Amino acid sequence: MPTVGLFNKEGQKVGDFQLNENVFGVEINEAALHQVVVALLANKRQGTQSAKTRAEVRGGGIKPWRQKGTGRARQGSIRAPQWIHGGVVFAPKPRDYKVSVPKTMRRVAMKSALSSKVAENELIVLESLELAAPKTKDVVNILKAFEAKKTLIVTAESNENVYKSARNIQGVAVLPVNNINVYDLLKYEKVLITKDAVTKIEEVYA
């Protein structure tokens, strides 16, 4: 079983914490990680971009000048793409970028992401993370204690005090455990996670 240190908010080790091998000690599947990250990023796209083709631009129903005899190139409409205010040749239209990934692959990718963090000593388990009030300085001191910069903080439940304390710190994000995803786990250099959040992950993925 993988074993990591259990720390308090001051960065002091208070004991050891055993992780479930079926969740935090699996073989890393890079193919599954790649496919799930691609799907997550694709599904974030709104797909609301739109531009008008020459058929949709207002005006341009009459030839700007006669076909022959003017000495100028023949033109059929002032809304042709080569004209200023003309239509766009291959105009983008609203579309759905959704990519589906099997549930089993998502589970494999999540376990691989968590296992990679343990293997690289980038997973820090906290005994607890309770703040009396929203205070950015408190979270800054916690990050300094662990020499963490680009960090994902994972809590067992939505914690408003922690969220408000960290939201103005560049490179730091706070997520409740039920909102974590593979992309965020891989994006941040270190993951600070509470002991209760680890237990919840193991209940779902073990």
The residue-averaged pLDDT of 142-164 equals 91
89: pLDDT strictly greater than 90? yes
| Sign (positive or negative) of CA dihedral 123, 27, 186, 23 | negative
Across 57-178, where does the E strand assignment appear?
A: 123-126, 151-155, 172-176
What is residue 11's predicted lDDT score, i.e. its pLDDT? 85
| Distance from C-alpha of 79 to C-alpha of 98, rounded to nearest angstrom | 34
Domains, the chain, with CATH or none: 3-45+99-205 (3.40.1370.10), 47-96 (no CATH)
pLDDT tier for residue 197 given thresholds of 50, 70 and 90: very high
pTM (global) more than 0.85: no
Model confidence band, residue 176 (pLDDT cutoffs 50, 70, 90): very high
Q: What angle do CA 114, 115, 119 make, to 5 degrees?
A: 125
Confidence bin at 1 (pLDDT 50/70/90): confident
Residue 155: strand pairing partners: 176
